[in-house]
């Protein structure tokens, strides 16, 4: 027996005519009264035999003995409903329906909980990405000498770096952010480590480079200037300046990279 059969229940169609009969000792004809479906919800109309059968008895007890087609004696339905075998079948049917509803209820709750978790995680990721991109756009160093990422929502006597202090500031305007930062830290999923920061910055950087590459390839006209110098740590810093045409206007971008080579002191 499939779950679809149980959830669908007995076949109780509302028809203009079921199986009209001319009964003995009567001048007219008589047909099944569909109001009996409401009075006896276990009744099921069987199309092949044009008779009423007991849905729970057939499905749960494999008992096909009951069939009602003598429309002038509906008391047979009441008599069958009082039989012990029918009551047993009904109890099994009701118990299974309750279990199915509970299973569906649990699945709905799990699905809703998953949707809520995904929604909250996306909102949290949006805040962290916006904060990281803001510091990059404003050319603000993100990291500090002491980056204590616990209790970011609370004030600290130690400067925890621009990114963490920015998140601390945003906790004042976003009621759930402080609690979310602490819970994410407990599960090691705060997404604020230096590696994650660099990964988040590399994603838009790659997108910008792809767009520039498309623009350069579209016009086919560009020029490149490469220069290098040594910083205070005696490390070579190389800058690449690309001059190209974008939407009919001249555009310029500079990419800086630190060389792995060191000059001899």
Question: At 235, is the pLDDT very low, low, confident or very high (cuts 50, 70, 90)?
Answer: confident
Contact (CB, 8 A) for 102 and 96: no
User: Would you say residue 86 has pLDDT above 90?
Assistant: yes
Task: Look at residue 34 in the predicted model and tell me its pLDDT.
Answer: 92
Contact (CB, 8 A) for 80 and 52: no
- The residue extents of the domains of the chain are 3-82, 111-192, 214-262
pTM as predicted: 0.52
Residue 230: strand pairing partners: 236
Distance CA 257, CA 58 (A): 78
Task: Look at residue 4 in the predicted model and tell me its pLDDT.
Answer: 60
Taking only the tens place, the pLDDT of each residue in 243-255 is 888 887 888 776 6
Residue by residue, what is the 3-state secondary structure of 21-75?
EECCCCCCEECCCCHHHHHCCCEEEECCCCEEEEHHHHHHCCCCCCEECCCCCCH
Taking only the tens place, the pLDDT of each residue in 142-190 is 887 788 888 888 888 888 889 999 999 999 999 999 999 998 888 888 8
Percentages (nearest 5) of helix, strand, coil residues in the chain? 45, 20, 35
Task: Look at residue 255 in the predicted model and tell me its pLDDT.
Answer: 64
Distance CA 250, CA 246 (A): 6
Q: Write out the E strands in the chain.
A: 21-22, 29-30, 43-46, 51-54, 67-68, 222-230, 235-246, 249-262
Residues 6+ apart with CB under 8 A from 139: none
Distance CA 193, CA 183 (A): 15
User: Would you say residue 263 has pLDDT above 50?
Assistant: no
CB atoms within 10 A of CB 59: 19
Taking only the tens place, the pLDDT of each residue in 19-44 is 888 777 667 788 999 999 999 999 99
- Read off the pLDDT of each residue in 100-107 and give the average, rounded to a whole number: 76
| CB contact burial 120-142 (16+ within 10 A = b; e otherwise) | eeeebeebbeebbeebbeeeeeb
Taking only the tens place, the pLDDT of each residue in 128-137 is 999 999 998 8
Q: Which DSSP letter does residue 190 get?
A: -
């Amino acid at each position: 027996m499939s779950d679809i059969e149980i959830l669908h229940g007995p076949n109780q169609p509302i028809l203009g005519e079921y199986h009209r009969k001319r009964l003995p000792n009567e001048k007219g004809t008589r047909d099944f009264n569909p109001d009996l479906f409401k009075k006896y919800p276990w009744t099921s109309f069987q199309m092949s035999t044009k008779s009423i059968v007991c849905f729970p008895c057939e499905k749960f007890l494999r008992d096909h003995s009951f069939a009602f087609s003598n429309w002038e004696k509906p008391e047979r339905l009441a008599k069958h409903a009082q039989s012990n075998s029918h009551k047993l079948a009904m109890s099994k049917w009701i118990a299974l329906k309750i279990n199915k509803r509970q299973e569906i209820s649990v699945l709905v709750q799990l699905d809703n909980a998953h949707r809520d978790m995904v929604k909250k995680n996306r909102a949290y990721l949006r805040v962290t990405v916006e904060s990281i991109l803001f510091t990059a756009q404003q050319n603000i160093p993100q990291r500090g000498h002491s980056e204590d990422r616990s209790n970011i929502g609370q004030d600290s006597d130690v400067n925890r770096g621009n990114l963490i202090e920015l998140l601390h500031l945003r906790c004042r305007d976003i009621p759930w952010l402080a609690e979310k930062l602490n819970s994410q830290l407990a599960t090691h999923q705060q997404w604020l480590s230096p590696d994650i920061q660099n990964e988040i910055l590399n994603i838009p950087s790659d997108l910008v480079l792809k767009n520039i590459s498309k623009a350069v390839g579209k016009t086919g006209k560009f020029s490149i200037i490469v220069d290098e110098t040594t910083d205070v740590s005696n490390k070579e810093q190389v800058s690449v300046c690309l001059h190209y045409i974008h939407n009919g206007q001249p555009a310029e971008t500079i990419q800086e990279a630190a060389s792995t080579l060191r000059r001899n002191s």
